[in-house]
């Protein structure tokens, strides 16, 4: 598996499995972090007074989520009393970064409509939209991307849990029948995942420290865990367990070779808060202004009539078999929109429909089992 070649979000236009139609969870993460982003931008404007502000969105993907962050940044700067230096308005340069396989054309084709919408939004609020310029920047964020001391704000949402590669020295049957850290994953494999994340995240921080201006800010959001237990990544752990079971079912039906399953491991790790703190402190060049653990509700399509914060923290209520089946299908299509390219590159495209149909069925059964224990599934928020 070559990450820079094989990993990108699925984009088949209006296809039911496209990322554009199945990225509500990612959108909720951006909305939940919005107050933190707004505070970071305001602090940069107040403390540094840059005439030209450079903002980089790392792992930007494509579609409405990408331009949602850009829109929020423009509005925040427009609201800031330091929006002008003398008589000149502050200018903003946005760099949208992702791997070369990302659909940057999708972003560029959306810019004209985005500009019209942004201007209209600012005008309706009595704000002056600051001059801004958007460019695409292909490349891995585990490498150098910018000149020294050139970026005022780094933003990354739901990307940094992805590793630069499958953990080094993870071969063959070391993680038999699992595609990630599962309940039967041996401690050695868990350690390999942890070591790869430490190596990658440390490298990421080193690169950004060279590129960020003194006094600049970073706002990083990623999938994580609320404890030191590597099996406690909530719905992420369950999803990967069920996807592994789906592939095992296809092996039993002779649709997938067992050796293919045993040699497939997802390049992803969900760190704990303590792991992140330790790696930042080891860097010694960065301070943690704020670090928060928040939970997003498990319904990728819900919350449209709620505020961003309420939609993220609202309990998920599921009644009846039909609702459980619909939830299973929704989670399956959301997972497929992100994981399909990696799975297809390893197993071939022919298994995709059957695999995710099996996953949806298993997920539905899991939900129905939980509902039998309690009619309301809830979580605690931050």
Give dist(CA 270, CA 240) in Å, integer.
Answer: 12
Looking up tokens 């237990």, which residue turns up? 229
- Sign for the pseudo-dihedral over CA of 316, 321, 326, 329: positive
**Residue 334 belongs to a domain:** yes
Residue 88 has what pLDDT? 73
Give dist(CA 352, CA 218) in Å, integer.
Answer: 37
Looking at the 3D structure of the chain, how many domains does it have? Answer: 1
Residue 64 has what pLDDT? 82
Residue 11 has what pLDDT? 57
Give dist(CA 79, CA 41) in Å, integer.
Answer: 11
**Residue 204 belongs to a domain:** no
SS3 112: helix
**Residue 319 belongs to a domain:** yes
Mean pLDDT for back-to-back runs of 10 residues, the chain (382 residues):
60 63 84 94 93 95 88 90 68 95 90 90 85 95 97 96 92 88 92 97 97 96 87 76 94 94 93 94 90 69 44 45 75 86 91 93 80 41 35
Range of the domain at 361: 301-377
Give dist(CA 291, CA 310) in Å, integer.
Answer: 20
DSSP state of 263: T
Looking up tokens 């039909």, which residue turns up? 322
Residue 24 has what pLDDT? 82
Residue 32 has what pLDDT? 92
**Residue 255 belongs to a domain:** no
**Residue 73 belongs to a domain:** no
**Residue 186 belongs to a domain:** no
Q: What angle do CA 74, 78, 81 make, to 5 degrees?
A: 140
Residue 14 has what pLDDT? 55
**Do residues 245 and 362 touch, judged by C-beta distance below 8 A?**
yes
Residue 7 has what pLDDT? 62
Element housing 53 (H / E)? strand 52-58
Give dist(CA 323, CA 330) in Å, integer.
Answer: 10
Give dist(CA 125, CA 27) in Å, integer.
Answer: 23
Picking from 13, 191, 167, 8, the residue whose alpha carbon sits closest to that of residue 102 is 8
Rounded to 10 degrees, the C-alpha dihedral 279/284/289/295 comes to: 0
Picking from 187, 373, 197, the residue whose alpha carbon sits closest to that of residue 272 is 197
**Residue 148 belongs to a domain:** no
**Residue 345 belongs to a domain:** yes
Give dist(CA 348, CA 357) in Å, integer.
Answer: 16
Picking from 84, 365, 37, the residue whose alpha carbon sits closest to that of residue 217 is 37
């Amino acid at each position: 598996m070559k990450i820079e070649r094989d990993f990108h979000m699925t984009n088949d236009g209006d296809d039911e499995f496209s990322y554009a139609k199945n990225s509500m969870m990612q959108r909720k993460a951006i909305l939940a972090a919005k107050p933190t982003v707004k505070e970071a931008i305001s602090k940069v404007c107040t403390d540094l007074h840059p005439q030209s502000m450079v903002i980089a969105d790392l792992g930007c993907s494509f579609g409405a989520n990408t331009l949602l962050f850009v829109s929020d940044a423009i509005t925040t700067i427009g609201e800031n009393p330091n929006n002008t230096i003398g008589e000149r308005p502050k200018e903003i340069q946005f760099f949208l970064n992702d791997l070369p396989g990302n659909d940057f054309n999708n972003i560029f084709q959306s810019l004209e409509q985005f500009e019209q919408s942004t201007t209209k939004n600012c005008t309706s609020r009595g704000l002056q939209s600051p001059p801004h310029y958007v460019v695409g920047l292909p490349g891995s964020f585990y490498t150098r991307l910018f000149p020294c001391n050139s970026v005022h704000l780094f933003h990354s949402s739901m990307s940094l849990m992805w590793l630069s590669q499958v953990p080094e020295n993870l071969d063959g049957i070391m993680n038999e029948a699992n595609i990630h850290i599962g309940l039967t994953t041996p401690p050695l494999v868990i350690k390999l995942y942890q070591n790869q994340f430490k190596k990658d995240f440390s490298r990421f921080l080193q690169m950004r420290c060279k590129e960020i201006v003194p006094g600049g800010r970073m706002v990083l959001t990623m999938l994580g865990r609320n404890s030191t237990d590597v099996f406690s990544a909530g719905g992420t752990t369950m999803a990967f367990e069920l996807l592994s079971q789906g592939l095992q079912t296809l092996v039993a039906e002779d649709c997938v070779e067992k050796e293919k399953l045993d040699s497939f491991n997802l390049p992803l790790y969900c760190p704990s808060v303590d792991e992140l703190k330790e790696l930042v402190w080891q860097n010694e060049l960065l301070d943690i202004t704020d670090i928060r653990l928040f939970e997003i509700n498990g319904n990728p399509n819900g919350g449209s009539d709620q505020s961003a914060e309420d939609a993220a923290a609202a309990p998920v209520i599921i009644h009846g078999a039909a609702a459980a089946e619909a939830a299973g299908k929704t989670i399956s299509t959301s997972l497929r929109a992100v994981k399909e390219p990696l799975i297809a590159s390893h197993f071939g495209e022919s298994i995709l429909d059957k695999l995710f149909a099996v996953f949806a069925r298993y997920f539905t059964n899991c939900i129905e089992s939980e509902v039998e224990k309690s009619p309301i599934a809830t979580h605690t928020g931050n």
